[in-house]
Structure 1
Amino acid sequence: MPLFAIPFPMIDPIAVSVGPLAVRWYALAYVAGLLIGWWLAKRIAANDALWGATRRPTPLEVDDLILWVAFGVILGGRVGYVLFYNPLYYLDNPLEALQVWHGGMSFHGGLAGAALGIILFARSRTLPALPIFDLCSAVAPIGLFFGRVANFINGELFGRVTDVPWAMVFPTADAQPRHPSQLYQAALEGLALFVLVQVLVRTGALKRPGLVGGAFLAGYAVCRIVGEEFREPDAQIGFLPGGLTMGMVLSLPMLALGVVVVVLALKRARRA
């Protein structure tokens, strides 16, 4: 163990409190991710040079799309957490599954909910779903970045015990120095993945429906699997056979799907 560890910066998880009303950093992270993603999505949708002849939602339709996606993320994220990470607890306490403000969201569930929202929106507007999925994938890492930073502020989803010089002691865990894995994941799933999808967008990938979305799926899966190597598994689940974690297991089919979507997008482009 190191002779010292970086003390965890004690940040109040409540950003603003007015009487009984408390606004948490975690909620503000969701709001910031959605608002900045919405702003960038409108700019991308309005740029004809990025899309060529590909049909996509107009900037005005993006205003409606954000509501469909936001609802899908919140509903899917909560259902995914209940089913994947703590089903027995919520089976005994079903009403607590509705108490989203107590925390507990799953990215993979949120992704499934967002995908359903995209499909329903596309049908309601008679638009192809793949370009919409590409557009959402181009801005999704923004929300992932803010979400991981909020995890760090809350002192949750902390890392495994380590002796690296930048180890931190998380009061919500124990007195042992641990990886600040939330920051690792913010850098990987947020910053690195954002750079990847934006490079693809700026080099014409939106003209090949599915390419940006598939790259996002595969890229996130790789970043999540790497991040899980440093993150402490959820206490109620622990390690799975082979030293895997639930996050790794859920990311493996996501990686396979992303690769398939990318290959199909490139094949369609060659045929065209």
Structure 2
Amino acid sequence: MGLKVHWYGALFATAIACGFQVMKRIYIKEKLPVESLDNLLMYCVIGIIVGARLAHCIFYDPAYYFSNPLKIFAIWEGGLASHGGGLGAILALYYYRRKMDMPFLFLLDRLAIATAIFGFFVRMANFMNSEILGLPSNVPWAIIFERIDMLPRHPAQLYEAFAYLAIFIGLWAIYKYTEMKQKEGAIFGLFLVLVFSARFAIEFVKVKQAAYAEGMTWSAGQWLSVPFLIVGVVLLVMPYLNKKVKA
């Protein structure tokens, strides 16, 4: 009997493993307790899954899930929202930080780097699973997702995946070669600005996932990106403003 590869599960596991390895390298470099990363991994995985599922149910299809509340637990049927996953990871990190007695923004700066590479593999998983489709298009690189229909479409998942990969490379270089890591919150702020700017722009070529957003100029994903963008700008500029005030 042949081996059946479930690409979504394999790539999601790869996302977790790569994110873990990035954090491990950072912990070793900064002489932090590597053994505590097992707890961080467990908290973050739980936070991401619970947050992503609840956000999908509440923001993308509330009528269905409020009418069928037991379906909220049917994660195997699909439906995870990255905005909720991000918030779940932040809450998980806060819980971890309280146990480890480490600065919250310090940890967020470092987790942001790992989250960027995590996002790359998750979007590749969405691509393999024919999820989060782009709008029909006749651009030369359009792709037909035969599981859905025979229309050539924008490969929106790949747009996001490679945007996140570029953000990971940029953040890693900033962490390794600049002094920005000394300004707590700045790297995380830059991460939020870059990720949600990319997400906002790419949403214009995506099929709207929330039925109630069909008549709206912006999609649900764009509206949900705005608060993250605002927080990102504040976190990015605050350390530099504080320095000027002290000077």
Superposed pair shares fold, TM > 0.5? yes
Deviations 1:131-155 (A, max 9, x none): 1111110111111111111111111
Distance 1:142 1:132 in 2: 16
Residue 266 (structure 1) aligned with residue 236 (structure 2): no
Match of 1:4 in 2: none
1:108 partner SS:
helix
- Residues 193-248 of structure 1, C-alpha deviation per residue, up to 9 Å, x if partnerless? 1122112211132211111111111111111011112111116344353x211111
Residue 29 (str. 1) matches residue 29 (str. 2): no
Give the counterpart of 1:42 among 24, 33, 36. 24
Match of 2:173 in 1: 199
Q: Unpaired runs of 5+ in structure 1?
A: 1-14, 18-22, 49-55
SS at match of 2:205: coil
Which residue of 2 is the match for residue 11 of structure 1? none
**Cα distance, 1:59 vs structure 2:** 1.9
C-alpha separation between the residues in 2 aligned to 1:159 and 1:267?
40
| Change in CA separation of 1:205 and 1:161 when aligned onto 2, cut-off 3 Å | same
The Cα offsets for residues 65-84 of structure 1, whole Å up to 9 and x where unpaired, read as 11111111111011111111
Deviates more, 1:230-239 or 1:113-122: 230-239
Partner of 1:70: 45
Whether 1:215 aligns to 2:185 is no
2:111 corresponds to which residue?
136
* Residues 45 and 267 of structure 1: CA distance in aligned 2, closer, same or farther (over 3 Å): farther
Query: Which residue of 1 is the match for residue 162 of structure 2?
Result: 187
Instruction: Report the number of matched residues.
Output: 244
The answer for unaligned runs of 5 or more in structure 2 is none
Residue identity matched to 1:42: K
Q: Is the 8 A contact 1:45 1:135 kept in 2?
A: no
RMSD: 2.0
Letter in structure 2 aligned against 1:93: N
- Cα distance in 1 between the residues matched to 2:215 and 2:82: 19
1:149 matched to 2:149:
no
The equivalent of 1:257 in structure 2 is: 231
1: CA distance, partners of 2:214 / 2:219: 5
Give the C-alpha shift of residue 31 in structure 1: 1.4
Structure 2 residue aligned with 1:112: 87
Residue 168 of structure 1 corresponds to 143
3-state SS in 1 of match to 2:138: coil
**Aligned partners of 1:240 and 1:208: how far apart in 2?**
42
1:28-51 Cα offsets, whole Å, 9 max, x none, are: 222111111111111112213xxx
Preserved contact between residue 57 and residue 127 of structure 1 (Cα < 8 Å): no
Match of 2:134 among 159, 176, 182: 159
Amino acid at match of 1:27: G
Q: Residue type matched to 2:205 in 1? A: F
